[in-house]
Amino acid sequence: MTSKRPFTYTTDAVVLRISNLGEADRIVTLIAPVHGLIRGVAKSARKPNSKLGGHLDLFRHVIVSIRETRSLHGLSQVSTVNGFRGLRDNLQRFSHAAYVSELSERFSVESGANRPLFQLLINVLESLETTTNQEMVVRFFEMRLLQLNGFAPELSKCVETGVELEPNNHFYSPDRGGLIHNNYQSSGEAAVLPASLNTIKLLRFLSKTDITQAGNLKAKESDIRQLSRILREQIHHVLDRRLRSEPFMDEVRTRHNSNQISK
């Protein structure tokens, strides 16, 4: 026994990622309001009689005891606050939860407090359990995530000239982080995306609304697609990468939509 007592604390957390370690352990990545990302080992969590395994499943909101060490922390005493059961029996809800969860991880760091992001994630997972408008809830999450991290898209002035934009179709530049006037001549180096008047209205609405109103927002399929492309490319630009969960989310959506049509 060493004389140094390891530091132990208890926190709320959401499970973002799980991988196997050794014979029966799991490495679990959690996000917590004050401690940011936490990577810890849940000993024997894969054994059927483990007290941890059932609680430490993906996207669950748990209370967990963390024993800090130099590398991987020790996880114990886990109980569930919300298991988000609604995400468990629907493939599309699951695929969206995976996407928002991966985004939360990418925008977080270890020991970096981020209470607003933690609360946003909880609210969005809760909403994804039941909403009939998953698409817009996810768009709301993307917009809020950009805002929380200092990448709020510029939606009133042209990012090139600073001129107030008149109500019309314009462009969006992920490189410059906002709208560009429709008379802008692309120099060819940085790609701009089309942003219809309706899409611009959706962007502005999402930038100011709350999750409930976002969930009630209805729009044309083509505008939603444009909106989705703008927000996703903006996020790719900020992170300098695509997300691993995107292909699955897109596949499930395509499958879902083609089933809707064939019915």
Partner 1 sequence: MPSSNIARSAAPPIARLIEAFHRLPGIGPKSAQRLTYHLIRMPEEEANEFASAILGVKEKIVLCNICANISEGEECAICSDLQRDQTRICVVEEPLDVIAIERANVYSGQYHVLHGIISPVNGIGPKDLKLRELISRLQNGNVEEIIIATSPNLEGDATAMYIQKLIGPSGISITRLARGLPSGSDIEYADDSTLAHALESRTEIPQSPSDQSD
Contact 159, 180 (CB under 8 A): yes
Q: Is the dihedral of CA 199, 205, 207, 213 positive or negative?
A: negative
59/172 with CB nearer partner 1: 59
Contact 107, 147 (CB under 8 A): no
Tell me the closest approach of the beta carbon of residue 21 to partner 1, in angstroms: 7
- Please state, in angstroms and as integers, the Cα–Cα distance from residue 206 to each residue in 86, 128, 239, following that order: 24, 17, 21
20/183 with CB nearer partner 1: 20
Tell me the closest approach of the beta carbon of residue 158 to partner 1, in angstroms: 37
Candidates 27, 47, 45, 46; CA nearest to 37 is 27
80/182 with CB nearer partner 1: 80
76/198 with CB nearer partner 1: 76
CA dist., res. 67 & res. 40, Å (int): 9
Residues that bind partner 1 (CB under 8 A): 16-23, 48-49, 51, 53-55, 57-59, 80, 83, 85, 87-91, 94-95, 98-99, 101-102, 105, 244-245, 247-249, 251, 255
Tell me the closest approach of the beta carbon of residue 70 to partner 1, in angstroms: 13
Task: Report CA 193 to chain centroid distance, whole Å.
Answer: 22
54/194 with CB nearer partner 1: 54
| Strand order, beta sheet including 193-195 | 178-180, 170-173, 193-195
Contact 34, 11 (CB under 8 A): yes
Tell me the closest approach of the beta carbon of residue 94 to partner 1, in angstroms: 5
Tell me the closest approach of the beta carbon of residue 48 to partner 1, in angstroms: 4
Contact residues for 193 (Cβ-Cβ < 8 A; gap 6+): 171, 172, 173, 174, 226, 229, 230, 233
Tell me the closest approach of the beta carbon of residue 136 to partner 1, in angstroms: 20
17/236 with CB nearer partner 1: 17
CB-neighbour burial class of residue 201 (10 A; exposed 0-12, middle 13-18, buried 19+): middle
Tell me the closest approach of the beta carbon of residue 186 to partner 1, in angstroms: 33
82/182 with CB nearer partner 1: 82
